Chains A and B, each alone.
Chain A
Amino acid sequence: LAKTTQPISMDSYEGQEVNITCSHNNIATNDYITWYQQFPSQGPRFIIQGYKTKVTNEVASLFIPADRKSSTLSLPRVSLSDTAVYYCLVSYMEYGNKLVFGAGTILRVKS
């Protein structure tokens, strides 16, 4: 499994755009990049997934450069409720394979 490295924590203010970068130098050809969000005492929640270039959904964008050795989760105009832990995961589709969570990035949004 490819190892991921992301900042331990980040601070931001309401209304700002937040970019969280994840390094995954050993990503394999079949690996996808997935981001989850976790609030205290709740289960992780899927945010976005991508393989290359850019993916956008209603809550976030995911930017993946051509070499795929890193990726950036972009949260537009964060609010206080976006304060959470954000996990970057790298994995590939395989029967019954596990999803391995790292330490994640604690995002604190201030008013």
Chain B
Amino acid sequence: EPEVTQTPSHQVTQMGQEVILRCVPISNHLYFYWYRQILGQKVEFLVSFYNNEISEKSEIFDDQFSVERPDGSNFTLKIRSTKLEDSAMYFCASSARPGQGGTGELFFGEGSRLTVL
């Protein structure tokens, strides 16, 4: 069964450092998403991406964050100047169609745990 893969599974970084989280979506999918989940809290939407541009972003996704699909297979989330409160599990997801309504099932990766010290 095709799956979304994420690397690294766990990253520890110092406050103020830049982090890049990588995702390989399912190959024929067109819509890509990043979510995050702070320990013990709910899954929060960060950004959706389609046709090489951001479709929608949440208030969490400020100038500190950026996304990119550099080579047609990887989908990356960059966090500049990390803060303690960025510590969370970051999930990448993809779908063949819009992730809504009667046609769009989101497939999530296993997540990348980010710990900011």
Residues of A within 8 A of B (CB): 30-32, 34, 38, 41-46, 49, 51, 87, 91-104
A97 pairs with B42, CB closer than 8 A = no
Q: Are B91 and A43 in contact (CB under 8 A)?
A: yes
B43 surroundings in chain A (CB, below 8 A): 38, 44, 87, 101
Assess the A93–B93 pair: CB atoms within 8 A: no
Nearest residue, chain A, Cβ from B4 = A43
- Determine whether the beta carbon of A99 is less than 8 Å from that of B101: no
Number of interface residues of B (CB under 8 A): 33
B interface residues (Cβ-Cβ under 8 A, vs A): 4, 31, 33, 35, 42-45, 48-50, 55-56, 58, 89, 91, 93, 97-111, 113
B107 lies within 8 A of A46 (CB): yes
B93 and A95 contacting across the interface, CB-CB below 8 Å: no
With the chains together, A104 CA to B31 CA distance in Å?
A: 24
CB distance from A7 to the nearest CB of B (A): 15
**Also in contact, A103 and B42, with CB within 8 A (given A46-B107, A97-B56):** yes
Distance in angstroms between the alpha carbons of A100 and B35 in the assembled complex: 10
A93 touches B101 (CB 8 A): yes
Inter-chain contacts of A104 with B (CB < 8 A): 42
What residues on A are CB-neighbors of B104 within 8 Å?
93
* Closest chain B CB from A15 CB (angstroms): 28
Q: Is the CB of A32 within 8 A of B100?
A: yes
Bound complex: CA of A102 vs CA of B101, how far in Å?
17
Contact status A91-B109, CB under 8 Å: no
Q: A93-B101, A95-B98, A102-B42 given; name 11 further pairs at CB < 8 Å.
A: A43-B108, A44-B106, A87-B43, A93-B102, A95-B55, A96-B98, A97-B98, A98-B56, A98-B99, A99-B106, A103-B42
